[in-house]
Amino acid sequence: MCQFTFPFSVSVETLVENATNAIAKAGGSLQGDSLNGKFSVPTMLGDVAGTYVINGQVASFQITDKPMFLPCDMIEEKLGAMLGKTPS
């Protein structure tokens, strides 16, 4: 579906904590650790769900489920904003 990578400079633990808090604030959930996990975030059009993998200082996200009318670039922008990052 959609795939994004975001480099980061904070600790992995800080990244996961910040992502968990931002996703929870948006009404979603993140289950995982400093290596990988899964998340779900509600939108007005339906839920966006996916997985993440962290390798070194790069977080890779794969969207596994999304509303048909929600484009990948909008998800990428919102996810990046939640992480405080610009996609690479």
Query: For residue range 21-67, what is the model confidence (pLDDT) as tens digits?
Result: 999 999 999 999 999 999 999 999 999 999 999 999 999 999 999 99
Angstrom CA distances, 7 to 12, 40, 88, stand at 11, 21, 7
d(CA 35, CA 37): 7
Does pLDDT of 88 surpass 70? Answer: no
pTM (global) more than 0.75: yes
Distance of CA 46 to the CA centre of its chain: 16
Domain ranges of the chain: 2-82
Query: Which of 3.50.50.60, 3.30.310.80, 3.90.1150.10, 3.40.50.2300 would CATH assign to domain 2-82?
Result: 3.30.310.80
Query: For residue range 5-19, what is the model confidence (pLDDT) as tens digits?
Result: 999 999 999 999 999
